Chains A and B, each alone.
Chain A
Amino acid sequence: MLDSSADRAVGETPPVVSKRSRGLSDRAIAWLFVAPSIFLLLAVNIFPLIWTVRLSFTNFRVNRPNAEVQFVGLKNYISVLTDGDIWQTMQATAHFLIWTIVLQVLIGFALAYLINKKFRGNDMWTTIIVLPMMLSPAVVGNFWTFLYQPQIGLFNYAVGYLTGTDPSTFSMIGDVSLAPWAIVIVDTWMWTPFVMLICLAGLRSIPSSIYEAAECDRASKWRQFWTITIPMVLPFLMLAVLFRGIENFKMFDLVVQLTGGGPGSITELTSINLKREAFEKWRTGYASAYAVILFVTVFGLASIYVKALNKVKQR
């Protein structure tokens, strides 16, 4: 369409003038416009990725630049996969991932459902609920350590006030059994609004005529909810879960500021563990293999998930 009309315009002007006034050809402009972005993405996203893969087969260490670099084959991969600490880290990540997603989906959907009742002022309250997710996770995580202080923290005081326990008797980030929940609570507080916003968009995309038709057929509200609302929102909800899943799998800033992986290594999520290997122990080759394994895991899981998502969408 575009080309033909542009060509027509060219055809109607004398060839010499047209060549000058047309300036660069479409093809040249397309390349001129795309090339810088592609170059930057290749240099900063793709190239490091390839480099990571290459490093993962060597015994290179950043802090020993003069040592001879040897090709060690799959040794790094084997030692990552046979390392017991990694499995503990994976467990901590799984606990964090599952509970944050469950809580955020339940609360986020409930909030979206309530906001969609269009009560007066819902716009303003939605904005207030969205605030936490716009803020710097590291700064917020750091500040939550203050709210979690046993004696003086607001969180402990509130829990103590509501349950009648002494707020100085429990420490959310110092206790092995509570710390995994401490990070779940802050992440849920911060990211529930994200799930809520996507659900809200899903709810608003349902045409009211469907409910009107269901009402004519005398379908109960309960039935309408399960046969109209839920299936229509499901693709949106699944998309929200995908984004939250990817983000929380690589969670670093919030948790590293909140617990630093502690106490012990009970909240040491994969990214924190990886940082320790790469930038504290300086086992560059090992950490690269670790990174590649993580990437392949997420990539594989996400691909399967996206396939499922597309099936739900088509239904």
Chain B
Amino acid sequence: MSSYSVTEPSARQKWAAGTLVVIYALITILPLLWIIATSFKSPSDAIAYPPKTLFEPTLEGYVNLFTTRTRATEQDLKELGEPKTWYDRIVRKDGFIIAGPSRFLERFSNSMIIGFGSTVLCIVLGTAAAYAFSRFKVPLKDDLLFFILSTRMMPPIAVAIPIFLMFRSLGLNDTHAGMILLYTAVNLSLAVWLLKGFIDEIPIEYEEAALIDGYTRFQAFYKVVLPQAMTGIASTAIFCLIFAWNEYAFAVLLTSGTAQTAPPFIPTIIGVGGQDWPAVAAGATLFLVPVMIFTIVLRKHLLRGITFGAVRK
């Protein structure tokens, strides 16, 4: 009993706590696994009752996601001869032929362009502002957190009206540039707040030493402060990226054609005769799985962004 500690839970407590948490985690992950599983089902397996856990995997959902198809008569199919590729074969089995590519790839790459574009811009602007807020006397400094909070109190729909009007008069509606600017602005106040927290932790003595060695203030910033702040910058960037990637309200209101991202597009995937669930699931899987992998790999760095910097370390 010499190693007994009042704060260390007993083995039995640990076991009980662990069991309960694992049960909750398994329940919580089940819908996500179900999405992934459904994406590999055939349409009839997807709507089978009782729900099928064992099924023959097929890529039909993914083929349907990336293509548009038209129904073909037996005559047409015969005239076309043998299917040339594996995806042709999958489609023809149900009496369809591929008419062309769908818009999913375009929507997906819009999400990439807007996501990465706004993240880069937000980090460049945010790091500079955070450095100034951290090291200099700047007006508005003390109001920053309150400002972040108040910009987040406005429902996106409410600001969407004037932004819609403003973008229309500037010709920014439904453009990549417009969406990048918008997402940058939405993320910026939080990014500055997070980055300021990271830069505050870098001892000011490093820069003072650099200044005495004859560096200019600007050189001290990018040769001394930036490398030290890299982890913080990276975790803020991930947070900005995930936000822009997931955003729906602005995307659905301000984009329709050229700059539409994936979240407003995925729910509109409809098959012949009812929603094509495997195709929807395939789209959701391709869209959600990168974020899941990101979260698992970078979990340590994400915490601060998730909790709005409320939690240090």
Contacts and interface: CB of A to CB of B under 8 A. Distances in A.
Interface in A95-118: 107, 111, 114-115, 117-118
Contact of B295 (A9, A131, A149): A131
Contacts, number: 319
A147 B31 CA distance: 8
A36 B299 CA distance: 31
A114 B22 CA distance: 10
A47 B162 contact: yes
Contacts of B155: 249-250, 252, 270-271, 274, 291, 294
A211 B184 CA distance: 45
Contacts of A271: 155-157, 249
A291 B306 contact: no
Q: How large is the interface on B (under 10, 10 to 19, 20 to 34, 35 or more residues)?
A: 35 or more
Nearest to B287: A139
A287 to B, nearest CB: 6
Interface in A124-153: 125-140, 142-144, 146-147, 149, 151-153
B192 to A, nearest CB: 6
Interface in B281-304: 281, 283-284, 287-288, 291-292, 294-296, 299, 302-303
Interface of B is mostly: helix
Contact of B18 (A122, A138, A139, A194): A122
Interface of A: 1-2, 5-6, 8-9, 13, 21-24, 26-27, 29-34, 36-38, 40-41, 43-45, 47-49, 51-52, 55, 62, 107, 111, 114-115, 117-123, 125-140, 142-144, 146-147, 149, 151-154, 157, 167, 189, 194, 197-198, 201, 208, 211-212, 215, 236, 239, 243, 246-247, 249-250, 252-253, 257, 270-271, 274-275, 278-279, 284, 287-288, 290-291, 294-295, 298-299, 302, 306
Question: 5 closest Cβ contacts across the A-B interface?
Answer: A291-B158, A119-B18, A44-B185, A250-B155, A138-B248
A43 to B, nearest CB: 7
A128 B26 CA distance: 8
Contacts of B287: 136, 139
B1 interface: no
B246 A246 contact: no
A36 B151 CA distance: 18
18 contacts: A21-B216, A36-B125, A37-B126, A40-B184, A62-B161, A121-B18, A125-B21, A130-B295, A135-B32, A135-B292, A136-B263, A139-B263, A140-B288, A143-B35, A152-B48, A250-B153, A275-B157, A278-B157
B54 interface: no
B208 A211 contact: no
Contacts of A291: 154-155, 157-159, 161
B217 A45 contact: no
B217 A198 contact: no
Nearest to B281: A143
Contacts of B160: 278-279
Nearest to A129: B25
Contact of B165 (A31, A51, A290): A51
A208 B51 contact: no
A222 B280 CA distance: 49
A246 B307 contact: no
A212 B129 CA distance: 44
A120 B150 contact: no
Interface stretch (B79-87, B88-96, B131-139): B131-139
Interface in B173-192: 181-182, 184-186, 188-189, 192
Nearest to B153: A298
B41 to A, nearest CB: 11
Given A24-B218, A146-B277, A189-B31, A135 B288 contact: yes
Contact of B267 (A34, A133, A138): A138
B6 interface: yes
A37 B128 contact: yes
Interface of A is mostly: helix
A290 B162 CA distance: 14
A144 B31 CA distance: 8
A137 B129 CA distance: 30
Contacts of B99: none
Contact of B266 (A6, A120, A142, A236): A142
B217 A201 contact: no
Nearest to B239: A134
B112 interface: no
B248 A136 contact: yes
Contacts of B29: 128, 131
A47 to B, nearest CB: 7
Contacts of A122: 18, 21
Given A117-B9, A243-B308, A299 B162 contact: no
B108 to A, nearest CB: 12
A55 B161 contact: yes
A75 B162 CA distance: 20
